[in-house]
Amino acid sequence: MTDRIVIVGGGQAGFAAAAKLRSLGDARPITILAAEASLPYQRPPLSKKYLLREMSLDRLFFRPQEWFDENAVELRLSTVAKSIDRDARTVALSTGETLAYGTLVLATGATPRRLPAEVGGDLGGVFVLRDFADADALAGEMQPGRRVLIVGGGYIGLEAAAVARSLGLEVTLIEMADRILNRVASAATADLLRAVHLSRGVVLREKTGLVRLDGRDGRVVAAALSDGTRLDVDLVIAGIGVIANDALARDAGLETAGGIVVDAFGRTADAAVFAAGDVAVFDYDGARIRLESVQNAVDQAEAVAAVIAGGETPYRPYPWFWSDQFDIKLQIAGLGRAGDDTVLRPGQREGSVSVWYFRDGTLKAVDAINDAKAYVTGKKLLELGRSPSADTIRDAAIDLKTLLA
């Protein structure tokens, strides 16, 4: 039997697992199977600086090729894992080869939901944004004066709206739910970001869904909406969530539930198979969750690597996220959806504000808008397990620094 560690996925989690194993002194052979043709790279800038052409692809690479060579990490690009034989401990590859493993790490990530073909999702000019090829194709369409419809009022949709508007496009964003950020943030945070987008000329239409896209010569030209209106459009961006890439695990007989189910150590029910990153489902704060963030991808992958290298420390997530929209930097610590009470606190600088989430009187999350002090304080409080009262946070006269004393 081989002792090779095979990592399926060349994204943030896959790279982080390999890098951590080497930093821990694990000398076993490591192979990363990466579906894309490029070196592993950061994805968050794709919907921001890369789309704006303020950052080139080579600046997104985690490491140059020399790092993989020097650290004896075999990187197989344009290679997809097709199936797993858990009894034989082998992975069948798209190249026709079979690769043996001693330990398998599934860092397969997630795939954007596309608009269904039956509503026109297969027309030209309809985009999703997940990899650099998506961003390259979309960047060529982002021309001043063009009309873009963005479907979905989550972070990806709002970031795309901000970029498009900054480039001079006419932007309409529709959200089927009652408000933007309905699943991921409080009404207070949504109100703040809505105001920013409206002030910049983005047309926001909440409680409005897409009925169909109409095309001409295979290219989208209009959109029929659920409120009965019809918009002329030049392009459409779908930001309607992602689907965890768990089919490989499911077909191998591993438990899945909208992602690959793992324990506190990142293990599946098969002791030789781990999962980490966007695809992993685990217990957090009394619920099963799947976190889509750079922080989770890195931290969970590193925790898994430490277990593979011989440790036995469970992964303790401290979620944090960020989103850049226009001149707004939104920094999030914790999970806001866990709150039942929110407190809006003005920051010390003009335009800075934070939203603090409490559940049963306990601090659960902080959304900080251009307010690094609130973010850092909230994040540290969550990591320390401390919880000021909601009334304390409401009192703007109290210096946040004193909460960490």
Q: What pLDDT is recorded for position 355?
A: 95
Report the alpha-carbon distance of residue 29 to residue 71 in Å, rounded.
10
Q: With 0-12 CB in 10 A as exposed, 13-18 as middle and 19+ as buried, what is 224?
A: middle
Q: What is the pLDDT of residue 127?
A: 96
- Beta strand pairing status for 170-175 and 147-151? parallel
CA dihedral 90, 92, 93, 96 (to 10 degrees): 120
Checking if the pLDDT of 265 tops 90, the result is yes
pLDDT tens sequence across 386-395: 999 999 999 9
- What pLDDT is recorded for position 209? 97
DSSP bridge pairs for 214: 222
DSSP string, 227-273: TS-EEE-SEEEE---EEE--HHHHHTT--BSSSEE--TTSB-SSTTE
Mean pLDDT of 327-355: 88
Query: For residue 200, what are the contacts with CB-CB under 8 A and spacing of at least 6?
Result: 162, 165, 326
Whether the pLDDT of residue 7 is over 70: the answer is: yes
Q: Provide the 10 A C-beta neighbour count for residue 138.
A: 22
- With cut-offs at 50, 70 and 90, classify the pLDDT of residue 164: very high
pLDDT reported for residue 285: 82
CA dihedral 265, 269, 275, 277 (to 10 degrees): -70
* Helix or strand (DSSP H, E) at 157: helix 155-166
Mean pLDDT rounded to a whole number for the chain: 95
Instruction: Read off the tokens for 344.
Output: 């809006």
Each residue of 80-104: pLDDT tens digit?
Answer: 999 999 999 999 999 999 999 999 9
Please name each of the domains of the chain with its CATH number: 5-111+243-308 (3.50.50.60), 114-238 (3.50.50.60), 327-404 (3.30.390.30)
The more confidently predicted of residues 340 and 401 is: 401
Go through 330-356 and write b for each residue having 16 or more CB atoms within 10 A of its CB, e for each that does not.
bbbbbbbbbbeebbbbebeeeebbbbb
Q: Tens of pLDDT along 222-251? A: 999 999 999 999 999 999 999 999 999 999
Please give the radius of gyration of the chain, using alpha carbons only, rounded to the nearest integer. 22
Q: What is the pLDDT of residue 340?
A: 76
Q: Which positions ≥6 away from 8 have C-beta within 8 Å?
A: 14, 33, 81, 91, 104, 105, 106, 107, 108, 248
Dist. CA 32–CA 40, nearest whole Å: 10
Predicted local confidence at residue 338, as pLDDT? 59
Phi and psi torsions of 14, nearest 5°: -60, -45
The DSSP bridge partners found for residue 8 are: 33, 106
Of the candidates 26, 115, 106, the one whose C-alpha atom is nearest the C-alpha of residue 71 is 26
